[in-house]
Structure 1
Amino acid sequence: MSRSKIQILFSIICLILAAVLLIINISTYNTVTQVFKKNVCYPQVVNNTDENEHAKLSNPGCVLPEIDPFDPVILPYIFNASFHCEQSTELTVISSDNRLVIQIPDDIDEDIDCYYSWVYRNGSDSSVSYGPVQVIPPTDGVQFGNDANVVNTSCIDQKTKQVIYRNVHFHVPTFKQVPLTNNDLHPSVIILVVESLSRLSYQRFMPAINQAMHDIGNFQHLKGLNRVEENSFPNSMALLAGRTITDEVASYYSGITWDHQLPYIWDTFKNSGYVTSFLEDQPMLGLFSFYSRGFRDPPVDFYPVEYWVHMYPNGTGNLFDNWDNPLRYCFEKAGSKLELFLTMCSKFAEDVINRQQKPYFLYAFHSQMTHDDFNNFQMVDQPVADFLHSLSPSVLNNSIVIFMGDHGPRMGRWVKPWGDQIETPYARVEGSLPFFAIRIPDSLDSKYPHLRKYLSLNEDRLTSWYDIHQILLDTAQGLFKPVGTRTKIPVAYSLFREEIPISRTCEDANISQDYCACNGRVGVNPTIRYWPIYAAKGLVHELQTIFQENNCGSNVTFDKILSGEYFYPRSNESWSTYERANFSIQVKPSQAVITAMVHRSKDANDYRWSPWKFHDPTNKLDSTEYTKYLTKLLCVDHVLENVNVTIV
């Protein structure tokens, strides 16, 4: 048979198949499922991996992006940030023998009376009570007892009767612990978390911390760490408890307290003889109180939430002002709340390891300054660098030190005319890649030198908070020898005891596809973000245009996003001038599910983007036959059951 006859026969077959499908579609609207994909008649679905120059198809695992922290797309949102807290001379201090005493400098001539009242945690993480106000004896001061670790102080000028000084103090009590387990080493652990710190924000804003880590030495960065869920709570639960608890699940339990609800890592440390501490600078809006009611009883040995609740007398009443107003970053004239927080961290570590000669586990979470604006990392930089430099040799030589974020930026200022930086594909990638640095102490390295070796091997591998949990679990149990050969793929690897396979995927690591940043794309969470809705509505508008061109007047409208992902720019594109995404959406009134790739672009010198359009690189939507069939299938005014259409 000649080639021309074969082509004619092929075309006839296509027309017959198209007619059959059209008849089925007309007669069985409520049962048909249609998928536009590569076949003998209709255009091929664009294979997402074919569009992706970042993915290495020979590698079934994860290739993570190298992104410029100063890419042009983010530059309009970066500005200098600073603040200053007024500080006065301390008139009340804690002495070396844990007494509250008055300390009047020689240059103060006024007659001053100073008062104190004990501050107590009032049965929850958001309420405090106060003891009676009493005069501080000018000679002996006041001894801290076993029932109170926080004290509120004030001083009054006797002549004017005006309050001239206020402060709040804490002390670290002596802890009674269970005997240490028989492990040969019990390294302490410091984990300092700064809310929303991404790897890119660290590169942009934290040169002082970077220098401090270099000065101290042996900090190792996990560049392949990928968050597992959207915000602080689920990511922290993966680290602290090794459990998957989504935001949706957590929000269902708004009335509960979290006492003994999960296998918290601090309980494992406590059972091994460690002194434990969990510190938050805003406990009334903390990890466990944001959705629920926090803890009824203190979950750890050192849990001075009353110190921090006292600083916020209005509770959550001035929520955004507390986050955004630099004046709220200061407490009275005692300095910045961040510096007070870091002082609490260092005093706990130094006291327990030096005075009490015990190992400790400290999880410290700071959120106020960086929750809403990533520029504020500039203000965190020097205080944290000073904190790291302040750690004594005994602490550094016997403690695993971790500095990290929980996820990247999730909140951002609305900056006109560009919009909100955290709603862009670039920011979605940044949000999925938190910063993480860890230092193995010399005392541990000298006996187990493979720990740093494995961390080095895993620096660029895909990792998650479940892996960090495994490191902590091993440390609490004294497990430091290399892991043997595995017969099954685990969810969590011990990053300092074994090598992560290069073939590891987000699915292997229990990382939701909504947040996976591997292989040139990153997912979206359609239930939280608004930005994808604009792209999805652009997809619907494109459909409406096709329907109008084919004389169909059905009112097809956007219903909801089912799933989606953004693509990284290719070599001839940039984050700031081109965006491409793939969405599965549901439309009304038909309830049909439509999957399509859309894109938009803009000139580098203009903030205005073009409308979202179908991504159709081979102009297949120019086919009249294709668009007519699409119109016939979807341009209806009634429900279509089980209709799934993939366009282009």
Structure 2
Amino acid sequence: MSQQVKCKGIRARIGAATRYRYLFLLATVCGSAFLLLSMHHGGELLLLAREPLATAWHHHYDLLDDDAFTINTEGCTIPGMQPLDDTIKKYVIPPSSLKACHETNFSLLHNNATHIWIKNEYLEYFRNPIGDVNLTCCYRGFYRPSSIADIYSKKVDDRVKYKSCIYFVDSIEVVNEYVQVTCEYNFRSIYEQYFLFAPKKPLMTNGDNFVEINQNKSYNIIIMGMDAISRLNFHRTMPKTLAFLQKREAIELKGYNKVGDNTFPNLAPVLFGIKVTDLKRTCWPRESSTFDNCPFIWEWYKDAGYYTAFGEDSAFLGTFNFQKFGFSGTPTDYYIRTFVHEAEVHTGNNKDFNTFICMGNKYFYKVLLDYIESLTNTLKDSRLFGFFWEVTMSHDYLNYPVAMDDDYENFLINLDRSEYLNDTILILLSDHGIRWGDIRFTKQGRLEERLPLAYMLLPPTFRENYDLAHNNLKINSQRLTTPFDLHAMLADLVNLDKIKNENIQKLMATSYSHQSSISLFLPIPKNRTCETAGIDDHWCTCHKYHKVPQDSAAALEAAGNLIRHLNYLLRGHEPICAKLKLASILDVTELEAGTPAEHEAGWKEYMVVVRTTPGDGVFEATLRHDHREWKLGGTISRLNLYGEQSHCMHHYQLKLYCYCLDKFGSSNAVRPSYLFK
């Protein structure tokens, strides 16, 4: 049976000794819980310090007896894991380095859905006497122009045009989607703030494909992603949000397995239904190409009469913009990159490794949450397909998501109170777990990195009207699933007739078990393996693991072949990249991956972790050996930051491996700058 994790208050079938052991662990961990953060008195962050860690951070988990496996089927068994396993609990600590945004407690400007006004009582904080008439503010709307000066420019997705300034001294009515306000005192700029609004727009159609939507036979689809959060790290860091989902009987995909290294190869299957390699053969032939011609799932919904929206809380780390060219056109009805990019450039602060986490006095993730809520209010009488992605708070740090828990819980509560969830299918997911740091050197950290968060919250009417599809989704919570399956489910939701009981029964009678993309409204076969699901061996979590002595011949041979593969990837770049050599073997694990096929007799697989020189890079890969040759299974992961070591390499993948010779010479110094997304 699958692992089941229950929060405090849920009856557990464990013995007294086991219960006391976990209570002791909880008491030990919570003994050091004074407040989550000792911070500047920021209003945005005070919500983190309202409760002791015993309730807001270190949640109490009772584990049921059947926790030996996360999932346990004929085709795949994933080891059971505890959110606070002994091997990782030392890494689960309050994020003491997280800082409040600038001027959190005394924003000079406030707004609602229709107006922006000056908070006169805060003027003194900006070296301005209260009520001084010399204070004026400039309101400027800005937008994404339809005309393009250079369609081949790397910054084609960053184009912007500002309107003329409108001055005001007390308040002003909002007439734009994106607004910049700057305030001056005696001809000196003292304040700048950006505002994002969600006005009702005309519903644009795709020509003859448009059909009038029947709101009685459709649901809003809201997909909310949080970058780099594993299933269990979500349990650890966001217990309030988790409790809301559990209370509403949301379905958790416990065997949701990633299919690629980072964000892009794990979201491409969700949004397109194909692998990145297939994307390059269809609509994205070159890295300098834009994604305008790619078959996004939201286009299906647009044809069905939906409004569409795509928003991320970081422009720099945008899914289609990091080391890529983004879009030349506007991909959805509501596309907020223009706003986020400008806000990042002009008011971004508290840069933490990769990106700014604040827009002025507000966290960027909170800007995104507030926007989604505003958009749902604006379009409450229409249908919306929205794909939103948070990255700024969760991308770089294992424990930072705890800072978002209250806001995500409140967001869901607000949607619930407004009854928006009664007509909405909400999907909360991630692309992978944390990909670097000390936790990645543990077995659980490696597995968590491959098992991201995935929750499905369905309205009561869905469970009543499509009970067979709903029951199959519940069954699949204990099966091996992938982003490809999520895409197939989204395709089914475009036309709900496809998931009526009689149609689901017909589909269940067909032969579909060999497919790598199976709708989650159909029962995933019990005998599904990583191979049939389209998961490379390197990412597969179904294996059993056996340690190999690091000084053994097998370990030395496997590590040597990993080094050869690394240098092979860097072939042709020898003038700028150093040839990598083996510095040390950190770990070699043999993977037992079921019974080999006849033509694979005798093969063995190894998970290899090595440290290289120069640069002290730490790399992990899966290698297969059949006594004739060594083959690489999937891609090679880097487990530590490369900083500026790869400044001379601009290929988004090779940056992970290249150690530039020109700047560092023979030095092994590392100056962390950013981690490849």
TM-score range, shorter chain: 0.5 to 0.7
Match of 1:168 in 2: 195
* Aligned pairs (5 A) from 1:307-318: 307-313=339-345
CA contact (8 A) 2:424 2:459 kept: yes
Match of 1:366 in 2: 390
1:155 aligns with 2:183: yes
For residues 540 and 562 of structure 2, the distance between their equivalents in structure 1, rounded to whole angstroms, comes to: 29
Q: Please state how far the C-alpha of 1:446 moved relative to its aligned partner.
A: 3.0
Match of 1:141 in 2: 172
Q: Please state how far the C-alpha of 1:368 moved relative to its aligned partner.
A: 1.4
* Aligned pairs (5 A) from 1:165-564: 165-177=192-204, 178-181=210-213, 184-215=216-247, 217-246=248-277, 253-261=286-294, 263-313=295-345, 322-324=351-353, 328-333=356-361, 335-353=362-380, 357-391=381-415, 392-412=417-437, 420-478=438-496, 479-482=498-501, 483=504, 484=506, 485-489=509-513, 490-496=515-521, 498-521=522-545, 539=553, 559-560=564-565
CA contact (8 A) 2:88 2:442 kept: no
CA contact (8 A) 2:301 2:494 kept: yes
For residues 599 and 270 of structure 1, the distance between their equivalents in structure 2, rounded to whole angstroms, comes to: 46
1:110 aligns with 2:142: no
Give per-residue Cα distances to partners, 1:429-464, cap 9 Å, x unaligned: 111111111111123233223333222211111111
Of structures 1 and 2, the one with the larger relative CO (CA 8 A, separation 6+) is 1
CA contact (8 A) 2:591 2:606 kept: yes
Matched position secondary structure for 2:194:
strand
Matched position secondary structure for 1:277:
strand
- Seq. identity, %: 24
* Aligned pairs (5 A) from 1:71-82: 71-81=85-95, 82=98
CA contact (8 A) 1:121 1:305 kept: no
Give per-residue Cα distances to partners, 1:225-265, cap 9 Å, x unaligned: 1111111111101111111115996997321100012x211
For residues 537 and 561 of structure 2, the distance between their equivalents in structure 1, rounded to whole angstroms, comes to: 29
Give per-residue Cα distances to partners, 1:328-387, cap 9 Å, x unaligned: 422223x2111111101111122111xxx1110111001112111111121122221121
Structure 2: which 5+ residue stretches go unaligned? 1-67, 123-129, 149-154, 205-209, 568-585, 593-601, 610-626, 632-677
Q: For residues 253 and 284 of structure 1, do their structure 2 counterparts lie closer, same or farther at Cα, with a shift above 3 Å needed?
A: farther
Matched position secondary structure for 2:538:
coil
For residues 480 and 279 of structure 2, the distance between their equivalents in structure 1, rounded to whole angstroms, comes to: 25
CA contact (8 A) 1:115 1:133 kept: no
For residues 605 and 467 of structure 2, the distance between their equivalents in structure 1, rounded to whole angstroms, comes to: 51
Matched position secondary structure for 2:255:
coil
Q: Please state how far the C-alpha of 1:92 moved relative to its aligned partner.
A: 4.4
What one-letter code is carried by the residue in structure 1 that aligns with 2:453? F
Q: Please state how far the C-alpha of 1:192 moved relative to its aligned partner.
A: 0.8
Task: Give the count of matched residue pairs.
Answer: 487
CA contact (8 A) 2:309 2:387 kept: yes
Matched position secondary structure for 2:242:
helix
Give per-residue Cα distances to partners, 1:402-446, cap 9 Å, x unaligned: 11111111133xxxxxxx332444322111111111111123233
Give per-residue Cα distances to partners, 1:543-583, cap 9 Å, x unaligned: 79xxxxxxxxxx99962389xxxxxxxxxxxxxx9973359
What one-letter code is carried by the residue in structure 1 that aligns with 2:328? R
For residues 508 and 643 of structure 1, the distance between their equivalents in structure 2, rounded to whole angstroms, comes to: 25
For residues 367 and 338 of structure 1, the distance between their equivalents in structure 2, rounded to whole angstroms, comes to: 8
For residues 192 and 128 of structure 1, the distance between their equivalents in structure 2, rounded to whole angstroms, comes to: 26
Q: TM-score, normalised by structure 2?
A: 0.64
Q: Please state how far the C-alpha of 1:475 moved relative to its aligned partner.
A: 0.8
Q: RMSD of the alignment, in Å?
A: 4.0
CA contact (8 A) 1:371 1:411 kept: no
Q: For residues 175 and 339 of structure 1, do their structure 2 counterparts lie closer, same or farther at Cα, with a shift above 3 Å needed?
A: same
Give per-residue Cα distances to partners, 1:268-318, cap 9 Å, x unaligned: 0100000000101113321111242001011110002111101222899x9
Match of 2:571 in 1: none
For residues 190 and 347 of structure 2, the distance between their equivalents in structure 1, rounded to whole angstroms, comes to: 23
Match of 2:100 among 84, 99, 108: 84
Match of 1:581 in 2: 590
* Aligned pairs (5 A) from 1:36-75: 60-75=74-89
What one-letter code is carried by the residue in structure 2 that aligns with 1:393? S
Q: For residues 312 and 247 of structure 1, do their structure 2 counterparts lie closer, same or farther at Cα, with a shift above 3 Å needed?
A: farther
Q: For residues 350 and 315 of structure 1, do their structure 2 counterparts lie closer, same or farther at Cα, with a shift above 3 Å needed?
A: closer
CA contact (8 A) 2:545 2:591 kept: no
Q: For residues 426 and 139 of structure 1, do their structure 2 counterparts lie closer, same or farther at Cα, with a shift above 3 Å needed?
A: closer
For residues 131 and 561 of structure 1, the distance between their equivalents in structure 2, rounded to whole angstroms, comes to: 47
For residues 521 and 180 of structure 1, the distance between their equivalents in structure 2, rounded to whole angstroms, comes to: 54
Match of 1:119 in 2: 142
For residues 360 and 269 of structure 2, the distance between their equivalents in structure 1, rounded to whole angstroms, comes to: 36
After the TM superposition, which of the residue ranges 125-134 and 372-381 deviates more from structure 2? 125-134
CA contact (8 A) 2:590 2:604 kept: no
Larger-gyration structure (1/2): 1
Q: Please state how far the C-alpha of 1:61 moved relative to its aligned partner.
A: 0.8
CA contact (8 A) 2:550 2:588 kept: no
Q: Please state how far the C-alpha of 1:76 moved relative to its aligned partner.
A: 3.2
Matched position secondary structure for 2:367:
helix
Matched position secondary structure for 2:240:
helix
Q: For residues 294 and 537 of structure 1, do their structure 2 counterparts lie closer, same or farther at Cα, with a shift above 3 Å needed?
A: farther
For residues 561 and 426 of structure 2, the distance between their equivalents in structure 1, rounded to whole angstroms, comes to: 56
